[in-house]
Structure 1
Amino acid sequence: MEIPNINHFSTQGASGGPVGIINADLIREVNFYTGAFPAERGNAMSSVLDFKLRDGDLEKNSLKATLGASEASLTSNGHLSEKTTYLVSLRQSYLQFLFKALGLPFLPTYTDAQFKLKTRFNEANELTLLGLAGIDNMRLNKDAEEEDAQYILGYLPKIQQETFTVGGVYKHYAGHHVQSLVLSHSYLNNRNTKYLNNDESNAEMLSLKLRSKEQETKLRVENSSVWGNTRLSYGANMEYAQYGNRTYQKRFTGSEQVVNYRTWIDMIKWGAFVKATYESDDDRFSASLGLRTDANNYSSEMRDLSEQLSPRLSVSYQLSKGFFLSGSIGLYYQLPAYTMLGFKDNNGEFVNKTNLRFMSVSQKNIGLSWQINNQVELSAEGFYKDYDRIPYSIVDGIPMACKGNDYGVVGNEAVSSTAQGRSYGVEFMLKWIVAQKLNLSSSLTLFKSEYRNTKNDPYIASAWDNRFILNMSGTYNLPRNWSIGAKISAIGGAPYTPYDVQKSSLVTAWDAQAKPYYDYSKFNTERADHYAALDVRVDKTYYIGRYMLGFYLDVQNITGSKFKEPDAIVSTGVVENPSAPRAEQRYVMKYIKQESGTVLPTIGVTFEF
């Protein structure tokens, strides 16, 4: 079942979010595809996360309660009958108290819940019901006194979000054939509100009021058949999507403007796939060949299935004992965000209707893995990704993929599908597992990420061009039910764009968004410093009969590392030329230091029976 949003406080129109909705206690397995996406998984360009949840316990019912410094959670696992099992989770955060104590400018709270009900009617038929929901509320901490906190308070909106996905998966097992029917519905309600100087008592100070909803109802049918060493899968999907938006926003694009529009679109999407996989008798060779296509009725350019033909091929061969060579190649498509598809100007016209196309990426991967023994595995993989038809911001003159790293909304502006990009590099991975003792995983990725506005322009560094990412995490089990875990994260400095000081100092410009403007003529010509941090966790568990009591100490950023950003130029609130016409008035500006990072200890208690 497809879940469009798995994060709290997500940026509408972009991926990501600071906190995951899915409770890790319910997860059995995660497959993370950065290439060679299975043909049955559509509408993805960069990656696909495939979560497999645990089944409930048919033997006993259990309840687990966890109390930490930032959230409380309840998880239950068990059976309702001899044929029906369940998993259920409920979490409530109280981050606002911790953030208020730290003097941070925003006070987030969230609630989430999820469930899985699985009924095995007989050996041939089963039904799984799934649900996931999140409620987010981010208020502003007007008592924050630090200068950088006051700066963030100046532009950060109040954010309220509700999201859920619910549906069912029916499977029929008929010998060598398995049929699946999947029906689901997803919903997102996003509300952003901002007043200049956070003065909500004066309606004229309103600078942003956004009310936006997305809904998707999806139906998918699949069949998978096995003949000897070959598996053939095929299927089709149909989707009905709705997007609505009411936006009032003050902007500055050379002059003071007000964007005020309502929009509504409903779309029908459809697609189909076929995939064949083969494994040799000696397990030395395997191959997968797939073809997918998708279309919709948004515009005449997106209706034709032949325009989005998405072939993909992956192979693996065992060179010798423990050594495997693998490779893949594929062309993938993704629909632009609803915020772009539904954007209207003040005259009520769909600005992007004739300018948008499916985004595409051509991916090539080749890798070598070495399974030294049952405990240690090493691998290296080289990749090249070639992006095309990426939405390009007409106002700012940069690809939309280089936006979307902040709260709020991305894509509600005029765009055109003309930008291109490429990303290439190599990733090294090490896994070391000693049963009941050690679990170590590490990865190092060396890469470049570049974009250009049209095929005739030179490539420049994208917003994601950090050049390297290092992650190392592991846990070690000690005697008497003690365990210690650690995670080291390091990332190269990201490129950034200098501020446009002249534009930012204009009173009309600053009052529109309360933060500085970038000089996009110098897009990503500067680069920030590298960053690294160490997190440590210690657990102690007691077992008393059928009860389990656990305590943990988790210290994030124990090294006290500081993530440094370029100094921000901000308004002092003083107009240096008050006698000039408003369009020519300028604020006296100043620079403030921008860095974040604090030692964050958490003490928690877990009880299970």
Structure 2
Amino acid sequence: MKTLFTSLLFATLLSGFGGSSLVYGQVSKQQVVRGQLRDAVSQSPVVGATVVVVGSSPLVGTTTDSNGNFRLSLALGRATLKITYTGYEEVLVPDVVINAGKEVILDLSMTEAFTSLNEVTVTYNRNDDPTVANNEMATVSTRSFSPSETLRYAGSLGDPSRMAANFAGVSGANDARNDIVVRGNSPASVLWRLDGVNIPNPNHFGALGTSGGPVSMLNTNLLAKSDFMSGAFPAEYANALGSVFDLRLRKGNDEKYEYLAQIAFNGVEVGAEGPYSKKSKASFLANYRYSLFGLMSNIGFEIAGTPYYQDFTFKTDVPIGKKGNLSAWVIGGKSRITFLGEDVDTETGDAYGEENTNTRVNYETGMAAVSYEHRFSNKTVGKIVFSASRTFEGFEGDTVIYAPDSKVVLHEIESQNADFTNEKMSVNASFAHKISARSKLSGGVILDFNRYNLQDKQLYPTQLTTRNSDGQTLISQAYVQWKYRLSQALTLNTGMTGMHYELNNSAVLEPRIGFSYALNSRSALNVAYGLHSNLQPLLLYNYQTQNPDGTYSLTNKDMGFTRSHHFVTGYERNLSASIRLKVEAYYQSLFNVPISSTPNYYSVLVEGANFAPTNQGNLVNEGTGRNYGVEMTLEKSFSKGYYFLLTTSLFDSKYKGSDGVERNTPFNSHYVVNVLAGKEIALGRNGLLSLNWKLTSTGGRYIRPIDLAASEVAGRAVYNDANAFLQQQSGYFRTDFKVGYKLNRPHATHEIAIDLQNFTNNQNVFQQAYNPRTNRIGTAYQQGFLPIPFYRLTF
């Protein structure tokens, strides 16, 4: 049914798209490209900088005004801008996409050049690298990404997490969720940050204590250039072991109204942006999205387990005088889904439900922030942010009992009921000061006030209350960072962060340090170290252990931080103006990991890749783990009509539980290979055909094997924990192919595409499960071949 549905939808879009082109006349050949140029540290405007279009003849260019603004009118297609200013490093802005339906608005920064008597000018300029990070304090393991990449890559579905799975050191290998494994670390160890605010899991159906989900609430159409970090990150990022998503929302157009309509995997959406008035530079952007499958189910296209979800995003920016800016944003989403056991097809191996269980879940997530940024001088800027968030997860489960040797339902008995609510109010205050061209200092304080109500009861076959907590706590963080250029070639990034958790009065200090050395104008060596710490999921702290007398105790409340030493060294070389080679090696030593106080296989390092909360008590911080590996990236940024990306990761991920046995983590696939390539072909004066291909191959994950004999006796799945994570699933292989067409009409741009996912229909193992009705272990497989349509109109 899903294939039929997507085929019908694609045909409908195609017919509407073709008809619309007859309405318009000759397309406008130019579009406005404008932006603001500011100092990277102080955020003061760079006045009088020269902005030129590379390769234009005659030369096309302009200069920035007293507010650092510039404006050009350029031909549709792509352009590369070069920005120069005396005393600052040159900035190259490649691959600027110019469409008829939307103005291009750039927010750019320049770094003051290092100059000293009798020394040569800078020879290695990271601003020439299109993947240079937003965060100047990042030394290694950081890859910036733009919204165009998220939409361009085959299989990414406009989702930042799925797109990041293409980067070196990152593994997805789960078609049902966008969890990402970074260097063997649990997906639960990811830190999400949006416009300077630490946010909860930003996914529909994103369970508390996890960091992924099936569908992202983050809208790629509203994101600006953002950073993804996979290790040894700067001191401002804390409470994370594996990786950091540092995302930014873009500003709305402050001069004209623009609109968007889109149909894609993530839903049906509409958006608008523009100024509040012609006399003001204040702007807004807003977007609403509704589940595509949920919408189609209302007109008769039913699938088992139809996901219903919707989300809304709003952002506004208001300049305050010449030195201040007030910004506010809101993101809210709701999602629900029902899986009925009688609908599960055990013959084909349904990966998204269990025959013996009815599952009903409801999720709600809301987050909002208001910030004020003020430039005190041309060297100092400060920012304060007030934010709040609320997440709710409701779960109801039934045990389904069938008639003997049939699927006739005899009873549906309520077996579990859970309601998890977590509310957070935060204050973030930060500053950045440019001491000189050599030296830059920044720091800040983050206070997170959490209030929670966690209720979880098992009702059948036995009654047990696993969580019954209503309380509040505070997480506080303070950090300072310093960047110092010791010479033209050598740069030091260092810092210190500290955290305190009020719930059990635990505290940590974390030093960070990194060096970058430019060998010549085309290559550099980097080395970095970070001591990182991660709190345990809130649900784990509040798990109740039942005592022999029937009372309960919070036996996990005193758990401290999981900690790790992370060492990274890397080499990067620009092979040409658009091709870059990067190699990194790392070693991560984890300690103070919560494990069981009695001998068994369990460690917190095995958690984080499913919806269900962890039900383990009597945990102590005595476990260890280690991750090490080498990564290679060969990338050609988009130029001359094509791009490619090849990433390879070889790694090992191990841990020790209280039984003293060194085991594989479930995320230890040993290798990940990604190959992506794309080509654009002009069709006529107004059309553009795009072809994008992706191949992914990874080793299989390690599992806890099911003991069939013991399961038959118990009437439920019983695991052979003595052999936990010693058995590896077969490897994962998938190739995707995306075909798109873009047509520029007067003041409007149409984009239509179809993403052919798992084009070879390869059967990748999802999980194994025990079926008590048939007394056998079945294997469920992940998504087969599935075409996903896409249509976007901007005007």
TM-score for both structures, normalised by structure 2: 0.69
Contact 2:338 2:358 in 1 (8 A): no
Do structure 1's residue 291 and structure 2's residue 486 form an aligned pair?
no
- Bigger shift: residues 144-153 or 161-170: 144-153
Do structure 1's residue 486 and structure 2's residue 693 form an aligned pair?
yes
Give the AA of the match of 2:524: F
In structure 2, distance between residues paired with 1:359 and 1:411 = 18
- Bigger shift: residues 92-101 or 376-385: 92-101
Shift of 1:394: 5.8
CA gap of 1:145–1:604, structure 2 versus 1, over 3 A, is same
Give the AA of the match of 1:596: Q
Task: List structure 1 runs of 4+ shifted beyond 6 angstroms.
Answer: 97-104, 201-204
Identity of aligned residues (%): 20
Give the AA of the match of 2:458: Q
Aligned partner of 1:583 in structure 2 is: none
CA gap of 1:482–1:416, structure 2 versus 1, over 3 A, is same
In structure 2, distance between residues paired with 1:325 and 1:134 = 43
CA gap of 1:25–1:493, structure 2 versus 1, over 3 A, is same
Give the AA of the match of 1:505: E
| Counterpart mapping for 1:254-273 below 5 A | 258-259=464-465, 261-273=467-479
Shift of 1:203: 9.7
In structure 2, distance between residues paired with 1:197 and 1:382 = 50
Shift of 1:47: 0.6
- Structure number with higher strand proportion: 1
Partner of residue 703 from structure 2, selected from 492, 496, 499: 496
Contact 2:358 2:399 in 1 (8 A): no
Shift of 1:414: 4.3
CA gap of 1:397–1:567, structure 2 versus 1, over 3 A, is closer
Give the AA of the match of 2:776: K
In structure 2, distance between residues paired with 1:420 and 1:105 = 42
Do structure 1's residue 66 and structure 2's residue 262 form an aligned pair?
yes
Aligned partner of 1:215 in structure 2 is: 423
Contact 2:330 2:369 in 1 (8 A): yes
In structure 2, distance between residues paired with 1:207 and 1:393 = 26
In structure 2, distance between residues paired with 1:292 and 1:457 = 32
- RMSD, matched Cα: 2.6
Aligned partner of 1:438 in structure 2 is: 642
- Bigger shift: residues 171-180 or 394-403: 394-403
In structure 2, distance between residues paired with 1:124 and 1:55 = 17
Do structure 1's residue 56 and structure 2's residue 252 form an aligned pair?
yes
In structure 1, distance between residues paired with 2:515 and 2:669 = 30
Shift of 1:540: 1.2
CA gap of 1:70–1:342, structure 2 versus 1, over 3 A, is closer
Contact 1:496 1:526 in 2 (8 A): yes
In structure 2, distance between residues paired with 1:213 and 1:202 = 34
| Counterpart mapping for 1:286-325 below 5 A | 286-300=491-505, 302=506, 305=507, 308-325=508-525
Contact 1:14 1:410 in 2 (8 A): no
Contact 1:400 1:411 in 2 (8 A): no
Partner of residue 126 from structure 1, selected from 305, 312, 325: 325
Contact 2:644 2:676 in 1 (8 A): yes
Shift of 1:251: 7.9
Give the AA of the match of 1:55: K
TM-score for both structures, normalised by structure 1: 0.89
1:134 match: secondary structure:
strand
| Counterpart mapping for 1:389-538 below 5 A | 389-393=592-596, 397-410=601-614, 413-435=617-639, 437-454=641-658, 457-480=660-683, 481-507=688-714, 510=716, 516-538=717-739
Deviations 1:157-194 (A, max 9, x none): 32111012101121110121111101111111001110
- Bigger shift: residues 214-223 or 85-94: 85-94
Deviations 1:471-501 (A, max 9, x none): 2333321112111112222211111221122
Aligned partner of 2:785 in structure 1 is: 599
Aligned partner of 1:576 in structure 2 is: none
Deviations 1:254-286 (A, max 9, x none): xx562355212210222211111123563x222
Aligned partner of 2:579 in structure 1 is: 376
Give the AA of the match of 2:447: M
CA gap of 1:15–1:151, structure 2 versus 1, over 3 A, is closer
Deviations 1:5-32 (A, max 9, x none): 1222123222222222111112221211
Give the AA of the match of 1:489: T
Contact 2:457 2:463 in 1 (8 A): no
Contact 2:333 2:365 in 1 (8 A): yes
Shift of 1:441: 2.4
In structure 2, distance between residues paired with 1:459 and 1:269 = 33
Do structure 1's residue 38 and structure 2's residue 243 form an aligned pair?
no
Contact 2:700 2:729 in 1 (8 A): yes
Give the AA of the match of 1:238: L
Partner of residue 179 from structure 1, selected from 359, 377, 382: 382
In structure 1, distance between residues paired with 2:538 and 2:767 = 32
**Structure 1 residues not aligned, in runs of 5+:** 511-515, 573-587
Contact 1:251 1:259 in 2 (8 A): no
Deviations 1:119-156 (A, max 9, x none): 11122111111222221111115434443339624346
2:224 match: secondary structure:
strand
In structure 1, distance between residues paired with 2:458 and 2:213 = 23
2:307 match: secondary structure:
strand
Q: Aligned residues, how many?
A: 576
**Structure 2 residues not aligned, in runs of 5+:** 1-196, 403-408
Do structure 1's residue 330 and structure 2's residue 530 form an aligned pair?
yes
Deviations 1:537-585 (A, max 9, x none): 111122221022222122111111111256543212xxxxxxxxxxxxx
Contact 1:261 1:345 in 2 (8 A): no
Give the AA of the match of 2:290: Q
Give the AA of the match of 2:701: A
1:278 match: secondary structure:
strand
